[in-house]
């Protein structure tokens, strides 16, 4: 079974060529497919019509399945191709790709990416690493084809193309972990037979299970005996920002054999979701390769420690500690402005995104040294300046919530964006003010030496929240702007994936902790509002002149609610009324209430009339 099922009377293949080598490569694949499937081929070029007189010509031996070439004079190549394809509705779009994945936010290029995302038909992307003439001769001599199979409609399309491309047997490969035993290998063979579906009985289909440490390694080993590898597009990865998923891009970057990546047209709902995600990923201004290199070098320089770094770190933490002790927001803001830790956080994010272990180590070392400097300096300030009570500025940094995580994430994204654009790089000062990195760590140092361990842990949690959220936001923003490692380099790919997993793990962990604390804070605030409303209603029952002056929840962790209230009154309050108040509070709150009561005697004077001035005689 080699011919695909379709609703058209004639199977239509559209190939788009931008230069002579592209045309030769695509015709070498499309012609045998059209002959096997009884189809027709249309070759399309967007640009000047002069190419019809030079290289955009169909060889006579192929004109039995190839129609007259089409040239469209249009500036926007991708839109012109999509417009033509929607009018003529081909079954398969075949495009040529040079196989260079690291091109900013674009995987295949500024022209091909929109085609892949918006094409309402099957797509095959061809990457060839040898001269077009050599490849064409290879394809004419019954090429040996390998199809890695993982199941799904894309794998089925890959096998269809393979069977139409050659008359020789096609190897369908499933790679299993090398530690599996004989029983597990048999199970893998059964799984492969299930994936083959209607092709299980095809004589030219040769299923094979190979053992390897990774899928890519297994494919590489088996591909050495084949001429062409055809793989179905895997599930898309948002993190890696790849149009075809991790495995196809890795193979495109490392596999020496010709590679064809096949993807069926998705259902309407799935296609709309993918296109929406692609629009979001490409919403930012495209950075050129030169700009990305300049930004990368700038971040590398900023991530290193130096004498200036230590001096500015010490000054910023000393200012932060003084501002906290003086309860002065102005001084604290000054500490945020001169703080140097944001550069280290940008370096960590860039190290993760670029898969650069050297930059990651240097930035982490800078961050750790900055943290140690901050704790030492703030702790020393707390010992030199005697103060027993925590100020309001310090207390405000001891109870972090999910809102703090959100603020840090937004500020981290803004920091990455500002660092990538020189025109707004000065806005990093405002971003540093928005996220209290230095003051929260300084609060930890001060509270630790002042004997407030619970508040110190709260401040440390806020500091960790800011760090993790900023790094995560920097990673996302840099990916969004087109930074990513070359996945063909194993060290960088490993560093990238481990870094992403580490950041996500830390973010989830701190998010869970903050979620629990936020839920506790919400419950406490709800309880306080309820208690306040009830006290406002019930205290007047103590006497006609009784008014609530102050109240506090002494402890609400257990089943009993311990309330301390102060009431202003002009007379004595009988114990029976206090007991009745306690009973009503217990009934309305639905839990035992322990009451601590303080009466504040006051004297209220009635207003006096304004005295009438007396007239004096002459």
Specify the DSSP element, H or E, that contains 564: strand 561-569
Q: Helix axis angle, 246-254 relative to 215-223, nearest 10°?
A: 40
Most confident of the ranges 42-56, 408-422, 541-555: 42-56
Neighbouring residues of 126: CB distance < 8 A, sequence distance ≥ 6: 25, 26, 29, 94, 95, 96, 97, 258, 259, 260
Distance CA 412, CA 408 (A): 6
CA 580 to chain centroid: 58
Neighbouring residues of 161: CB distance < 8 A, sequence distance ≥ 6: 33, 124, 230, 260, 262
pLDDT of residue 259: 92
Phi, psi of 214 (to 5 degrees): -150, 160
> What structural domains does the chain harbor?
289-484 (1.20.1080), 524-601 (3.30.300.20)
Residue 201 pLDDT > 80: no
Judged by average pLDDT, the poorest of 170-179, 208-217, 424-433, 438-447 is 424-433
- Tokens representing 539? 């205290």
Distance CA 232, CA 154 (A): 4
pLDDT in tens, 46-76: 988 888 878 898 999 999 999 999 999 888 8
CA pseudo-torsion sign 404, 278, 491, 233: positive
Q: Which residue has the higher pLDDT, 272 or 132?
A: 132
Q: Which residue has the higher pLDDT, 285 or 231?
A: 231
Most confident of the ranges 108-122, 205-219, 234-248: 205-219
Residue 569 pLDDT > 70: yes
Q: CA torsion, points 99, 101, 105, 109, in degrees to nearest 10? A: -10
pLDDT of residue 361: 93
Q: What DSSP state is assigned to residue 423? A: G
Buried/exposed 440-452: b ≥16 CB within 10 Å, e otherwise: bbbbbbbbbbbeb
Neighbouring residues of 494: CB distance < 8 A, sequence distance ≥ 6: 355
Q: How confident is the model at residue 23 (pLDDT cuts 50, 70, 90)?
A: very high
Q: Which residue has the higher pLDDT, 458 or 251?
A: 458
Residue 429 pLDDT > 60: no
Place of tokens 């972990």: 177
Residue 27 pLDDT > 90: yes
Percent of the chain with pLDDT over 70: 84
Most confident of the ranges 486-490, 502-506, 575-579: 502-506
Q: CA torsion, points 489, 490, 494, 500, in degrees to nearest 10? A: 30
pLDDT of residue 444: 94
Residue 554 pLDDT > 80: no
pLDDT of residue 341: 85
Q: Which residue has the higher pLDDT, 177 or 224?
A: 224
Distance CA 597, CA 546 (A): 13
- Tokens representing 102? 């690291």
Distance CA 432, CA 409 (A): 12
pLDDT of residue 608: 80
pLDDT in tens, 403-416: 888 888 888 888 77
Spatial strand order of the sheet with 593-601 comes to 547-555, 561-569, 593-601
pLDDT of residue 236: 46
Residue 113 pLDDT > 80: no
122-127 and 145-148 strand pairing: unpaired
Q: How far is CA 436 from CA 121, 129, 480, in A?
A: 51, 52, 25
Specify the DSSP element, H or E, that contains 550: strand 547-555
Q: Helix axis angle, 437-450 relative to 357-384, nearest 10°?
A: 50
Distance CA 243, CA 8 (A): 28
pLDDT of residue 245: 44
pLDDT in tens, 284-312: 555 666 777 888 888 888 888 888 889 99
Residue 542 pLDDT > 70: yes
Neighbouring residues of 217: CB distance < 8 A, sequence distance ≥ 6: 175
Q: What DSSP state is assigned to residue 425? A: G
Q: Which residue has the higher pLDDT, 237 or 534?
A: 534
Q: Which residue has the higher pLDDT, 332 or 229?
A: 229
Residue 562's CB is within 10 A of a number of other CB atoms, namely 16
Q: How confident is the model at residue 239 (pLDDT cuts 50, 70, 90)?
A: very low
Residue 102 pLDDT > 50: no
């Amino acid at each position: 079974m080699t011919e695909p099922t379709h609703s058209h009377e004639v199977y239509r293949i559209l190939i788009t060529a931008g230069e002579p080598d592209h045309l030769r490569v695509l015709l070498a694949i499309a012609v045998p497919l059209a002959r096997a499937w009884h189809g027709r081929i249309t070759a399309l070029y967007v640009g000047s019509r002069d190419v019809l007189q030079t290289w955009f010509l169909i060889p006579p031996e192929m004109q039995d399945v190839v129609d007259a070439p089409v040239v469209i004079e249009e500036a926007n190549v991708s839109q012109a191709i999509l417009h033509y394809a929607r009018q003529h509705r081909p079954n398969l779009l075949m495009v040529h790709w040079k196989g260079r994945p690291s091109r900013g936010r674009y995987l295949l290029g500024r022209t091909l990416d929109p085609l892949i995302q918006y094409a309402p038909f099957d797509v095959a992307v061809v990457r060839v690493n040898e001269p077009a003439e050599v490849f064409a001769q290879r394809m004419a001599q019954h090429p040996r084809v390998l199809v890695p199979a993982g199941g799904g409609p894309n794998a089925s399309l890959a096998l269809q193309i393979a069977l139409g491309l050659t008359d020789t047997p096609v190897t369908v490969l499933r790679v299993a972990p090398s530690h599996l035993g004989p029983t597990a290998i048999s199970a893998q063979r059964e799984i492969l037979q299930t994936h083959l579906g209607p092709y299980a009985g095809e004589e030219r289909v040769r299923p094979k299970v190979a053992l390897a440490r990774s899928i890519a390694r297994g494919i590489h080993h088996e591909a050495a005996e084949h001429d062409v590898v055809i793989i179905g597009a895997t599930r898309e990865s948002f993190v890696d920002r790849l149009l075809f998923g991790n495995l196809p891009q890795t193979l495109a970057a490392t596999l020496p054999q010709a590679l064809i990546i096949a993807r069926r047209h998705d259902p309407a709902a799935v296609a709309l979701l993918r296109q929406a995600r692609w629009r979001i990923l490409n919403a930012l201004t495209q950075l050129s390769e030169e700009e990305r290199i300049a930004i990368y070098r700038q971040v590398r320089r900023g991530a290193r420690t130096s004498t200036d770094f230590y001096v500015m770190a010490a000054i910023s933490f000393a200012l932060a500690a003084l501002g906290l002790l003086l309860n002065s927001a102005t001084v604290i803001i000054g500490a945020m402005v001169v703080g140097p830790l944001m550069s280290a956080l940008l370096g960590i994010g860039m190290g993760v995104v670029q898969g650069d272990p050297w930059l990651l180590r240097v930035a982490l070392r800078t961050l750790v040294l900055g943290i140690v400097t901050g704790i030492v300096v703030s702790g020393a300030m707390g010992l030199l300046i005697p103060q027993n009570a925590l100020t309001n500025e310090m207390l405000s940094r001891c109870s972090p919530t999910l809102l703090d995580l959100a603020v840090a994430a937004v500020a981290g994204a803004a920091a990455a964006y500002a660092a990538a654009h020189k025109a707004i790089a000065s806005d990093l000062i405002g971003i540093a003010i928005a996220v209290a990195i230095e003051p929260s760590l300084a609060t930890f140092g001060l509270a630790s030496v002042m004997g407030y361990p619970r508040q110190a842990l709260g401040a440390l949690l806020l500091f960790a929240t800011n760090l993790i959220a900023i790094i995560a936001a920097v990673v996302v923003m840099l990916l969004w702007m087109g930074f990513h490692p070359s996945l063909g380099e194993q060290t960088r790919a490993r560093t990238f994936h481990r870094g992403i997993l580490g950041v996500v793990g830390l973010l989830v962990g701190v998010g869970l902790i903050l979620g629990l604390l936020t839920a506790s804070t919400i419950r406490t605030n709800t309880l306080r509002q309820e208690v306040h409303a009830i006290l406002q209603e019930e205290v007047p029952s103590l006497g006609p002149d009784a008014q609530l002056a102050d109240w506090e929840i002494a402890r609400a962790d257990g089943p009993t609610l311990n309330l301390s209230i102060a009431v202003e009154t002009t007379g004595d309050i009988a114990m029976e009324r206090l007991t009745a108040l306690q009973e009503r509070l217990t009934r309305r709150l639905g839990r035992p209430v322990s009451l601590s009561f303080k009466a504040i005697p006051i004297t209220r004077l009635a207003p006096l009339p304004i005295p009438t001035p007396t007239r004096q005689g002459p």
